[in-house]
Amino acid sequence: MMAEIKRTINLAGAFIVLVLVLAGGRSSAQSIADLRINEILVINDSNYVDDYGKRSGWIEIFNTAYNTVDIGGLYLTNDMTNPTKYPIPTGDPITKIAPRNYILFFADGLPTRGIQHLNFTLTETNYLALFAGNGKTMIDALKYGEQTPDVSYGRINDGHAEWGFLDKTTPAANNFTGEIVTSGDKFLLLDPYGVAMAFIAMSVVFGALILLYIVFKNTKQLYSINFKTLFSKKGKEPAPVKATKEDISGEVNAAIALSLHLYVSELHDHEDAVLTIKKVARTYSPWSSKIYGLRNLSK
Amino acid sequence: MDKTGNIYSFITEHLREFYTYTAFYNMTLGHIVMIAIGLFFIYLSISKEYEPLLLIPIGFGMLVGNIAFTSGLTIGIYESGSVLNYLYFGVMQGVYPPLIFLGIGAMTDFSALISNPKLMLIGAAAQFGIFGAYTAALLLGFSPAEAGAIGIIGGADGPTAIFLTSKLAPDLMGAVAISAYSYMALVPVIQPPIMRLLTTSRERVIRMKPPRSVSKLEKIMFPIIGLLLTTFIVPSGLPLLGMLFFGNLLKESGVTKRLADTAKGPMIDIVTILLGLTVGASTQATTFLSSQSLKIFALGAGSFIVATLAGVLFVKFFNLFLKEGNKINPLIGNSGVSAVPDSARVSHIIGLEYDKTNYLLMHAMGPNVAGVIGSAVAAGILLGFLS
C-alpha cells in the first residue's frame, strides 16, 4: 500500500516537473521578452489610415527575436493602475509576429473594429505599456511628452534604447531611414585600392603565426621537464636521470620501429623447413553442414 | 464520334502541357554549357583523378542544378521550401565549412609543424594571394565585401571560401565556391611551372634536416595553445579555427578515438557530399552564367598564382638569414596555400624530379597545415573588417 502511494507521488512529481519544463520551454520559446514598443504616433491628422479608412494614433510593436513570437494573451495599457486594460486576443494568426517584424495597433478606442483596435487612445494619458499574460510582468513601457501632429516618436534604430522624433513615420517598417554605411564602404572610402587592408591583414596573419612559432620554438624544453622528480619530497633520492638523446629524427625512429616490427612479426625469418600438420578445429554451423551441400534425390 | 474527338484533343492538350514542364522545353544554351562543364569536371575527376572526392559531387551537382524546369514546382535550389534549398541552407549559413574543418583537424598530423615551427611563416606568406585578388577585385569594381569573398579563393581552402562568402557576399556563392574548388583541383597543373620558374637548379636539391620526433604531450598541447593564441587575436575566425583545433585534440588526446574516427570519417564524408552536391547545383545557368562569374574565375586564378609566387619567394628570402645546413628547399614554398595535401604532394613530386632521394613531403606538410591556419585567420580578419 505504502509503495503504491510512493509510486503515485513520484509519478505526480514527475508529471509536475514535466509540465513545468514544458511551460518553461514554451515561455522561453515564445520569448515575449523580445517584444518592444518601437514607434508611436499620438496625433494623426494626415498620416497612416487604418483598414476602415480612418486616422487614429497607432502603436508599433517590434519583435527583436529571430523566431516568431505570439503577442496574443498579452496586455496593452495606457493606465498605470490598470495593466490589463486591453487584452490582446489569442489564437489569431495576426498576433504571430514574424522574426524581426512588426505589428500595428490602432489606438482609436474602438475595440469592436478588430483585434488591432484598442479600447483607449494615446491622447488620454502620456503613458503606454505592454504587460505579460500574468498582468504583472512589464515587458516594455514608455512615457512620452508633448507630441507634434503627424510626427512619430520612436526608437532611432529598431529595438535599440535611444528614442526620439523620427524624420519619417514608418508604420510596420524600419525606423532608420538614412543611408546605411557598412564598414566595407568606410574601408573603400579610405582605402580604395586595398593596400591598407593587405598591410593590416598580412601583419595580423604574420603576427599570429609568428606568435605560434615563438611559443612552439621555446616551449619544447618545457615538455621534457619531469615534474614528478622536480617536486619529489626531500630526503628521497631523486631517480637517476637517464641520458636521453634529444632531437632524434622521425626517420631514425621509423627505422627502429620497422626493425622491431620485422623482428616480432616476420616469422619467416626463422623457418627451419620442417613441415607440420596442424589439426584445425572448425565449429559446426548449419551453413557449412554437409546435408545442405548435397542434392536430395526423390525416392 | 464527338466523344472520340474530345478525348483526342484532351490527350494532345495535356501531352503538350506536359511537354512544357520538361527540361527539353525549358532548356537554354546556358544550361547546356553548364551541363558540359559538369561533365568535364566528372571526366577530370575520374580519368585524371583531380580531387575526385570534390569534383564528382560538384560535377554531378552541376548536372542536377542545370536540369531546366518550370519555376513554381518547388524543386530548384533557390526556391525556398524545396529539398535542395534545405540542403543548401548549410552552405548559405556557413554550417558545413566548420564541420569540414572538424574533420580536417581530426585527420591532420601537425607534427611536421611542431618539429619545425619556422615553417609556419611560409603558411603566412602564401596568404598574399588573398589580398592581391582583393585589390584586383576592387579595381574591377566589386564592392569591398565582394572583393573579400573573391580574394579568399587565393587561400586555396574551399570550406573557408564558402564560409566567408556566405557571410560577405552570398550572391557570389556559386562562382566563388566553384572557382575555389576548381583551382584546388588544378594545383598540380598551376603550381609546378611557377615553382620551376622561380627556383634555381641548386635550390631545388637543398636537403632539409629530417624532422625531430614530437612527443604526445606536444601534440596534445598544440591544438589548445593554437586555439587560444589565434582566436584571441582573431575571434571572428572562431568557427573555423575552433573546429579545426577541436578535431585535432580529438585525434591527439588518444582517448576519444571513436569521436575522432567519426569526425574524420563518416561525418566529413556526409558533409562533403552535401556541400559538393549543393555547391554544384547552385550553378544554375540562370544565376551563374554572367560576366561577373568570369571575372571571379580570372581573379581566382590570379590569386592562386600570387599565393604560390609569394610562398616560393618568401622561402628564398628567408634562406638569406639561415645558416648552411638549416636552409629550406624553396620547392615547399608553394605548399603555404592550404590545399591539403595536394600542394605538399606537388612539392614532393617536383623535388623528386631533381633528386630521386630527396623526400620533401613531410617538410611540405608543415607550411601546408600552417596555410590552413593562416587562411582561416585571414578569413577572420576580412570578416571582422568587412561584415
CB A125 within 8 A of CB A10: no
Asked if A227 has any chain B CB less than 8 Å from its own CB, the reply is no
User: What whole-number distance in Å separates Cα of residue A159 and Cα of residue A173?
Assistant: 12
Residues on chain B touching A204 (C-beta within 8 angstroms): 233-234, 377, 381
Residue among A209, A249, A213 at smallest CA distance from B359: A249
List of residues 6+ apart from A56 with CB closer than 8 A: A44, A50, A106, A107, A108, A121
- A239 vs B194 pLDDT, higher one: B194
Give how far Cα B232 sits from Cα of A211, A217, A219, B161, Å: 12, 20, 19, 22
Question: From the list A184, A207, A219, which residue is nearest B386 (CB)?
Answer: A184
Question: From the list B114, B147, B374, which residue is nearest A194 (CB)?
Answer: B147
Q: What is the pLDDT of residue B277?
A: 92
Asked if B249 has any chain A CB less than 8 Å from its own CB, the reply is no
The sign one gets for the Cα dihedral B238, B146, B187, B207 is negative
Instruction: Decide if B216 is inside a domain.
Output: yes
Domain boundaries, chain A: 1-30, 34-165, 183-221
Which range scores top for mean pLDDT: A101-110, A280-289, B18-27? A101-110
Q: What is the pLDDT of residue B75?
A: 80
Q: What is the pLDDT of residue B194?
A: 92
Determine what percent of chain A is predicted with pLDDT higher than 70. Answer: 68
Q: What is the pLDDT of residue B317?
A: 92
Searching chain A, which residue's CA lies closest to the CA of residue B142? A188
CB A30 within 8 A of CB A70: yes
Residue among A58, A38, A46, A61 at smallest CA distance from A150: A46
Cβ separation B145–A182 shorter than 8 A: yes
Q: What is the pLDDT of residue B17?
A: 85
Residues on chain A touching B241 (C-beta within 8 angstroms): none
Mean pLDDT of B31-40: 91
Q: What is the pLDDT of residue B268?
A: 92
Give the total number of structural domains in chain B.
Answer: 1
Q: B235 falls in which pLDDT band (50, 70, 90)?
A: confident
Q: What is the pLDDT of residue B3?
A: 63
Q: How many CB pairs under 8 A join A and B?
A: 136
List of residues 6+ apart from B151 with CB closer than 8 A: B130, B131, B132, B133, B134, B137, B299, B303, B382
Question: From the list A183, A212, A223, which residue is nearest B215 (CB)?
Answer: A223
Residue among A148, A185, A140 at smallest CA distance from A167: A148
Which residue type sits at A188? L
Q: A155 falls in which pLDDT band (50, 70, 90)?
A: very high
- pLDDT over 70 (residue A271): no
Cβ separation B115–A250 shorter than 8 A: yes
Q: B315 falls in which pLDDT band (50, 70, 90)?
A: very high
When mean pLDDT is compared across A17-31, B64-78, B79-93, the lowest value belongs to A17-31
When mean pLDDT is compared across A26-40, A187-201, B54-68, the lowest value belongs to A26-40
The answer, yes or no, to whether ipTM is higher than 0.90 is: no
Residue with cell 582566436: B231
Instruction: Decide if B224 is inside a domain.
Output: yes
DSSP 3-state of A68: coil
Mean pLDDT of B114-122: 86
User: What whole-number distance in Å separates Cα of residue B173 and Cα of residue B163?
Assistant: 9
Residue among A130, A119, A121 at smallest CA distance from A73: A130
Residues on chain B touching A202 (C-beta within 8 angstroms): 124, 127-128, 131
- A71 vs A2 pLDDT, higher one: A71
Q: What is the pLDDT of residue B28?
A: 85
pLDDT in tens, B329-357: 999 999 888 777 788 889 989 999 898 88
- pLDDT over 80 (residue A273): no
Cβ separation B114–A216 shorter than 8 A: yes
Mean pLDDT of B229-250: 87
- pLDDT over 50 (residue A23): no
Give how far Cα B171 sits from Cα of B31, B149, B175, B176, Å: 19, 10, 9, 10
Longest dimension (CA), chain A: 113
H helices of A62-219, where?
183-190, 195-218
- B286 vs A106 pLDDT, higher one: A106
Searching chain B, which residue's CA lies closest to the CA of residue A253? B213
Residue with cell 613441415: A275
Mean of per-residue pLDDT scores for chain B: 87
Q: What is the pLDDT of residue B247?
A: 94
Strands (E) across chain A are located at 35-41, 57-63, 69-70, 75-77, 86-87, 96-97, 102-107, 127-131, 138-143, 153-155, 163-165
Q: What is the pLDDT of residue B9?
A: 87
- pLDDT over 50 (residue B41): yes
Residue among B234, B255, B189 at smallest CA distance from B44: B189
Set of cell numbers at residue B229: 593564441
Cα atoms found within 13 Å of the Cα of residue A221, Cβ hemisphere only = 3
pLDDT in tens, B172-207: 888 888 888 888 878 888 899 999 999 998 888 888
The boundaries of the domain holding residue B348 are: 78-386
Q: What is the pLDDT of residue A19?
A: 43
Cβ separation B114–A183 shorter than 8 A: no
- pLDDT over 60 (residue B82): yes
Q: What is the pLDDT of residue B74?
A: 76
Most A CBs within 10 Å, among B109, B150, B229, to test the A interface? B229
- How many angstroms separate the CA of residue B317 from the nearest CA in chain A? 15
Q: What is the pLDDT of residue A27?
A: 40
The DSSP letter of residue A49 is B
Asked if B376 has any chain A CB less than 8 Å from its own CB, the reply is no
Q: What is the pLDDT of residue A282?
A: 63
Mean of per-residue pLDDT scores for chain A: 77
Residues on chain A touching B387 (C-beta within 8 angstroms): 183-184
Q: B249 falls in which pLDDT band (50, 70, 90)?
A: very high
Cβ separation A197–B131 shorter than 8 A: yes
- pLDDT over 90 (residue A40): yes
- A257 vs B277 pLDDT, higher one: B277
Q: What is the pLDDT of residue B236?
A: 78
What is the DSSP code string of A125-164? -SEEEEE-TTSS-EEEEEE-----TT--EEESSTT-S-EE
- pLDDT over 90 (residue A157): no
CB B10 within 8 A of CB B55: no
DSSP 3-state of A248: coil
- Torsion angle of C-alpha atoms B281, B284, B289, B290, degrees rounded to 10: -100
Q: Which CATH class is domain A34-165?
A: mainly beta
Instruction: Decide if B303 is inside a domain.
Output: yes
Question: From the list B212, B217, B386, which residue is nearest A183 (CB)?
Answer: B386
- How many angstroms separate the CA of residue A185 from the nearest CA in chain B? 7
Q: A26 falls in which pLDDT band (50, 70, 90)?
A: very low
Q: What is the pLDDT of residue A141?
A: 92
Burial (CB count within 10 angstroms: exposed 0-12, middle 13-18, buried 19+), residue A57: buried
Question: From the list B131, B221, B374, which residue is nearest A209 (CB)?
Answer: B374
CB B122 within 8 A of CB B314: yes
Q: A24 falls in which pLDDT band (50, 70, 90)?
A: very low
